[in-house]
Amino acid sequence: MKIITVIGARPQFVKAAALSREIQKHADLIELIVHTGQHYDSNMSAIFFEEMNIPKPHYQLHVNGLSHGAMTGQMLEQLETIFIAEKPDLVLVYGDTNSTLAGALAAKKLHIKVAHVEAGLRSFNMQMPEEINRVLTDRISDVLFCPTDAAIQNLVQEGFNETTATIIKSGDVMEDAALYYATIANDKSQIIQTLNLQTRSFILSTIHRAENTDNPQYLKQIIQALNTLHQTKQVVVPLHPRTKNVMHKHGIEVQFTCIDPVGYFDMIQLLQHCSLVVTDSGGLQKEAFFFEKHCITTREQTEWIELVSNGYNSICGVDTATIVQTALTKLNAPYPSKLNLYGNGKACEHICSVLNSISNH
């Protein structure tokens, strides 16, 4: 079976690192990687391929820095040309980015099978570009690899069991990656020493979701919360370039520690050594769980509802007082006992066994 994997953003590089390594163990599965270029600077892209031994992309599209429509359109056009030339049996897409939707759409229009890793996730907020991407991608996918029972339930409620799509509970490939790379990160990363941080002496935070960065008022409230928390415990923020530009444009001042975006090993080290995570990132909410750190989510909803219902994650929205109060409470709270929510590192194995069975039919 010839598979083309379409990736373009940081979380997809991490997922592909885990799954591509497993695919290489299967003689019947041949994988070509297409990098759309959605995340393109070296801190957001090249470093992941180098650090994590992801196979070099066979195609590099350099589509970035455009509006949603222009970006998705250019990806569609270029992916279609590649798919026609390569004639894959299946196109594999991850998550909820413009690259995800473009890959699925280009394949489906050419009658090529589509497999969606991280299917069935819902925030139920159609103002989020990610929600639109994931809903549409699920609808045109042939194989839906769902990380959780909640994801499967979402698809059932939307009538997917009445379609020809195959729904599989696979577990979460992010957990496979986190467990595999955690030991390597100890040898590869020097970030704790470089920043002169002590274990559990700092809060780790990220802000990049468009719903927060495109609303200056929301962004100001989150920054104010981080400024306030920094007075109690150091706050370290690897700052997304887009967020940095918005803050500069609106004169939003920070009193915490800003650093450039970091590679995956550095992020794992920061996660392992921090005392708390404050984020609007879907991926980081899970990674906090993998490394047993309380997570404060600066959004009104999350796709990872099982983290909230089991007490690992607190949804705080963008209200400054709520973020600060919840964070200070969680800093001193014991971590709940850890449940097997995401497959305990066996997701990639399961996905490859399914792909193998498809290729043998």
- Kindly state the tokens that stand for 120: 């069935």
| pLDDT exceeds 90 at position 134 | yes
30 lies in a domain? yes
User: Residue 10: pLDDT band by 50, 70, 90 thresholds?
Assistant: confident
- Give residue-wise pLDDT tens across range 269-299: 999 999 999 999 988 999 999 999 999 999 9
Across the range 44-64, mean pLDDT stands at: 84
What angle, 0 to 180 degrees and rounded to 10, lies between the N-to-C axes of helices 10-23 and 173-188? 100
pTM of the model: 0.88
User: Residue 124: pLDDT band by 50, 70, 90 thresholds?
Assistant: very high
Q: Are residues 231 and 311 in the same domain?
A: yes
3-state secondary structure 137-162: HHHHCCEEEECCHHHHHHHHHCCHHH
The total domain count for the chain is 2
338 lies in a domain? no
**Contact present, 223 and 243 (Cβ < 8 Å):** no
Higher pLDDT, 38 or 216: 216
Report how far residue 188's alpha carbon sits from residue 152's, in angstroms, rounded to the nearest whole number. Answer: 37
60 lies in a domain? yes
Q: Is 350 a catalytic residue?
A: no
| Residue from 208, 230, 240, 273 carrying the catalytic annotation | 208
Q: Are residues 161 and 309 in the same domain?
A: no
- pLDDT value at position 11? 84
3-state secondary structure of 204: strand
How far from 225 is each of 208, 222, 230, 314, 327, CA to CA, in Å?
16, 5, 9, 15, 10
Across the range 45-73, mean pLDDT stands at: 87
Q: Are residues 138 and 74 in the same domain?
A: yes
249 lies in a domain? yes
| pLDDT exceeds 70 at position 40 | no
Q: Are residues 291 and 167 in the same domain?
A: no
Q: Are residues 154 and 203 in the same domain?
A: no
Q: Are residues 105 and 228 in the same domain?
A: no
User: Residue 45: pLDDT band by 50, 70, 90 thresholds?
Assistant: low
What is the greatest pairwise CA distance in the chain?
A: 61
Neighbours of 65 (CB within 10 A): 11
What CATH number does residue 67 fall under? 3.40.50.2000
Q: Are residues 218 and 280 in the same domain?
A: yes
Q: Are residues 167 and 301 in the same domain?
A: no
**Contact present, 16 and 54 (Cβ < 8 Å):** yes
- Kindly state the tokens that stand for 3: 């598979």
20 lies in a domain? yes
339 lies in a domain? no
Report how far residue 211's alpha carbon sits from residue 128's, in angstroms, rounded to the nearest whole number. Answer: 7
124 lies in a domain? yes
Q: Are residues 167 and 31 in the same domain?
A: yes
**Contact present, 328 and 297 (Cβ < 8 Å):** no
337 lies in a domain? no
What residue numbers bound the domain in which 327 lies? 180-331
CA pseudo-torsion sign 137, 8, 102, 67: positive
Q: Are residues 243 and 167 in the same domain?
A: no
Q: Are residues 163 and 54 in the same domain?
A: yes
Q: Are residues 13 and 159 in the same domain?
A: yes
